[in-house]
Each structure stands twice: as structure tokens, then as C-alpha cells.
């Protein structure tokens, strides 16, 4: 299924300026013992070295709210209609700002609780600082969703086995790695994946890695569904 990555990226970059945008209404969200929550379309905050975004960027979206107990324990409630097209990408972001060759390590651990219905993927979205390259790592997905581009085969990297896709959305190259089986918790060694793209395939050069995002690309969640990040850590240097 075609994906409009450019729209999500551009709007996410504008999020700080638009944080006071349209409010859906906190009454839509389930109660959590959270230190922060928002239903603003572009609502965001910084907690424990992570930036959290509500990030409702797609057309035809419904209501969505995010909450957080910390930068590494947070979640989203979303009620998006059962139509095609990605509606949102609520996420937590860690900024790395190091070139691939200067990184000694880049790893992340995740633990999530996701619904059995709806259409979505749980994914890392990794960007270079110029936003020329997007590397997506799907750790689980459900419903009518799919990656951009054509199949490049299967590879075992970073502790997981992935089906790889390569495409271009007109603004940047997109490399998607879809885990061959769903996982709700685990650790990903991201650096070998970046080196495989750079050195083994030659698809990009020694890019400076900027954002490492983790969240939920939601296409539909009719009736209201919960997406919970029980724990997330991103570390690298």
C-alpha cells in the first residue's frame, strides 16, 4: 500500500510550532495515571530525553490522544475510521546526531501491548539529519497495511529476520524491514542494519543519523483502540 511519508515528516517537523492546534478533547481518552497527556493534533512534550508526539497527520483522521508516565512508558488511544491511508503516527523520538561510521552502537528495546483488531504497524522510523533516507523497522503489524516499494528479499540482522522493501516516495528513499513474525517485546541492534544498507547494499553513504522514532502507524482503529508502550529504550554513541 502506498504511504505518504513526506506528509508525516513535514508535519512532524512543524509540531513544536503547532502544539497549540486543534484539540479533540481529553474526555475522549481513557483514564491513565499519567504525568502528561494531550489530544491536540500536533501535541508534543519532552520527557527523559525523548520527544513524544501525538502526530495526527493523515487525511480523514478521527480522534486520538496520547499519555505518558515517562519518556519510555506511554501510549495512545485512537478512534480512526475504517478507511484506507495512514491517519497518524504517535511516537517517541530520541535524537542521535552521529554518522554511521562514528557510532559504536545503536540499540533499542521495546515492550508493547497492541490491539488484535484495526489496521496498523508498530515500527521504528529512523531518519538521517537531511531527511533523504527513511529506515522503517516493523516489529508487528495487523490489518490492511503494507510497505512502500518492491521486495528485496529476506535478511537476518540485528537479532531479527526481516522481509526487506525498497522504494521512493518522491522526496526520499524508503527502506522497510518487516519482521517475519510479530513481536511485542525484544531488542533490536540497529547499527548492523544501517551498515548493511550502507556497506553491503550501497543504498546510502555515511549518513548522519538524526531521529530514531518508535510508535504506531495507524490506518484504522474504529471504535477506539489502545496502543501501549510499556517500555522503550534507545541508546547509542
Sign of CA dihedral 202, 170, 138, 24: positive
Instruction: Name the phi and psi angles at 99, rounded to 5.
Output: -70, 160
Q: How far, in Å, CA of 212 to CA of 220, rounded?
A: 24
Looking at residue 40, what is its pLDDT? Answer: 98
175, 103, 165: which is closest to 135 by C-alpha? Answer: 175
Instruction: Name the phi and psi angles at 12, rounded to 5.
Output: -65, -35
Q: How far, in Å, CA of 191 to CA of 68, rounded?
A: 28
Looking at residue 18, what is its pLDDT? Answer: 33
Listing DSSP states for 48-115 in one string gives: TTEEEE----STT--EEEEEEEETTEEEEEEE--S-SS--B--EEEEEEEEETTT-S-EEEEEEEE--
CATH class of 5-236: mainly beta
Q: How far, in Å, CA of 232 to CA of 92, rounded?
A: 9
Looking at residue 159, what is its pLDDT? Answer: 98
Q: How far, in Å, CA of 68 to CA of 75, rounded?
A: 6
- Give the pairing of strands 44-47 and 173-179: unpaired
Q: How far, in Å, CA of 73 to CA of 2, rounded?
A: 31
Residues in the chain, pLDDT under 70: 1-33
Amino acid at each position: 500500500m502506498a504511504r505518504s511519508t513526506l506528509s508525516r515528516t513535514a508535519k512532524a517537523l512543524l509540531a513544536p510550532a503547532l502544539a497549540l492546534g486543534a484539540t479533540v478533547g481529553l474526555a475522549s481518552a481513557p483514564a491513565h495515571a499519567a504525568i502528561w497527556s494531550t489530544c491536540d493534533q500536533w501535541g508534543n512534550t519532552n520527557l527523559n530525553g525523548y520527544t513524544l508526539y501525538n502526530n495526527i497527520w493523515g487525511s480523514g483522521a478521527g480522534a486520538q490522544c496520547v499519555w505518558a508516565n515517562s519518556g519510555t512508558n506511554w501510549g495512545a488511544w485512537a478512534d480512526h475510521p475504517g478507511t484506507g491511508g495512514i491517519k497518524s503516527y504517535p511516537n517517541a523520538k530520541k535524537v542521535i546526531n552521529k554518522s554511521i561510521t562514528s557510532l559504536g552502537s545503536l540499540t533499542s528495546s521495546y515492550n508493547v501491548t497492541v490491539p488484535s483488531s484495526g489496521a496498523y504497524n508498530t515500527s521504528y522510523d529512523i531518519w538521517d539529519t537531511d531527511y533523504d533516507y527513511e529506515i522503517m523497522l516493523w516489529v508487528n503489524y495487523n490489518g490492511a497495511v503494507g510497505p512502500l516499494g518492491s521486495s528485496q528479499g529476506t535478511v537476518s540482522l540485528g537479532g531479527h529476520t526481516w522481509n526487506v522493501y525498497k522504494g521512493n516516495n518522491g522526496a526520499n528513499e524508503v527502506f522497510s524491514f518487516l519482521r517475519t513474525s510479530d513481536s511485542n517485546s525484544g531488542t533490536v541492534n540497529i547499527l548492523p542494519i544501517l551498515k548493511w544498507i550502507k556497506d553491503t547494499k550501497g543504498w546510502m553513504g555515511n549518513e548522519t543519523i538524526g531521529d530514531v522514532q518508535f510508535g504506531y502507524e495507524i490506518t484504522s482503529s474504529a471504535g477506539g483502540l489502545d496502543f501501549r508502550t510499556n517500555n522503550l529504550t534507545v541508546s547509542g554513541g
